[in-house]
Amino acid sequence: MIKFKIFLKLMLGFVGLTVANSVAAEDLFEGLQTLGKPVPGGTSFQPPATDLARDIQWLDNMLLIFVIATSVFVVILLGIVVFKYSRKANPTPDTITHHSALEITWTVVPVLILIVIGTFSLPILFNQLEIPESEVTIKATGNQWYWSYEYPQHNFTFDAFMLEREELAKYGYKQDEYLLATDYPMVVPVGTNIRMQIAGADVIHAWKIPAFGVHMDAVPGRLNETWFNADKEGIFFGQCSELCGKNHAYMPIVVKVVSKEVYEQWLDGAITEFAGKPRKIDLAQYNP
């Protein structure tokens, strides 16, 4: 009986501790705005939260100018061929087969267009993959079918599972965030270079946060790296973006970008909750 009482006390203490931890974590994120989220019927980009995303969106808009100009030009040429050189309008066609100046032009002009595009796109591409000095390293591993996050500097790992509809409110999410929200978010400090290491545990997944302009394959046996520096505090959603099996649609990604102070507090809680490496160890001292 006494043993049972002790067991009961221990269990209650454990439950109390867990509840206290989760309440504290939710408090930390109170007032955080949802910034990176798909909208019904949306076709454009999410508002960018990093320079990487801004660069990509600028490049996309710039390329659209070339795409539209080329399409309009080709349609005009087609129109001329169809109407001006139809059998009715032009019954006896010319018999020329070569026109050197024209052939040089249609070779050189596309090459020039590609050089212009390359001049702008290559620096943006390299910027995504050249990782700057970073304060925080996080390893995201894609599993069938959830993501796990490791903070190697603090020696802890946790899993992030998608929330069911009835769990959303408890974790502070709205009903339309079903299929996007997870029980544990990845948490990063604002305005800090984050080095992301991305791997797959079983099949190929892909870690993606559209508002950050980050999309990287998670390949088993390979450590891919990328980075981001979020300049806005908020909640950002992403999804696994590589068809990985039957529950591919049910392994979303949540990143909460918080102030540096809140990040430190979260880190302390996470080190306790996930048994990470304590940041300072109090040693017993012997004072003779």
For tokens 């109390």, name the residue.
16
Backbone φ, ψ for residue 213 (5° rounding): 70, 30
Residue 214 as a binder of Cu ion (CB under 5 A): the answer is no
Structure tokens, 83? 């109407």
When the beta carbons of 202 and 231 are compared against Cu ion, the nearer one is 202
58 within 8 A of 259, measured Cβ to Cβ: no
The span from the CA of 125 to the CA of 206, in Å, is: 18
| Member of 35, 50, 171, 205 binding Cu ion (CB under 5 A) | 205
When the beta carbons of 205 and 256 are compared against Cu ion, the nearer one is 205
Residue 254 as a binder of Cu ion (CB under 5 A): the answer is no
When the beta carbons of 141 and 229 are compared against Cu ion, the nearer one is 141
Closest distance of CB 183 from Cu ion, Å: 17
Q: Which of residues 220-249 bind Cu ion (CB under 5 A)?
A: 240, 244
For tokens 């020039």, name the residue.
112
220: DSSP letter: B
Closest distance of CB 244 from Cu ion, Å: 3
Closest distance of CB 224 from Cu ion, Å: 14
When the beta carbons of 196 and 244 are compared against Cu ion, the nearer one is 244
Residue 160 as a binder of Cu ion (CB under 5 A): the answer is no
163 within 8 A of 178, measured Cβ to Cβ: yes
Number of residues that bind Cu ion (CB under 5 A): 3
Q: How far apart are the first and last CA of the chain?
A: 44
Amino acid residing at 55:
D
Closest distance of CB 241 from Cu ion, Å: 8
The span from the CA of 205 to the CA of 216, in Å, is: 9
User: Of 7-15, 99-107, 147-155, 203-211, which part binds Cu ion (CB under 5 A)?
Assistant: 203-211
Closest distance of CB 85 from Cu ion, Å: 53
218 within 8 A of 238, measured Cβ to Cβ: no
Closest distance of CB 179 from Cu ion, Å: 13
Amino acid residing at 275:
A
Contact residues: Cu ion, CB under 5 A? 205, 240, 244
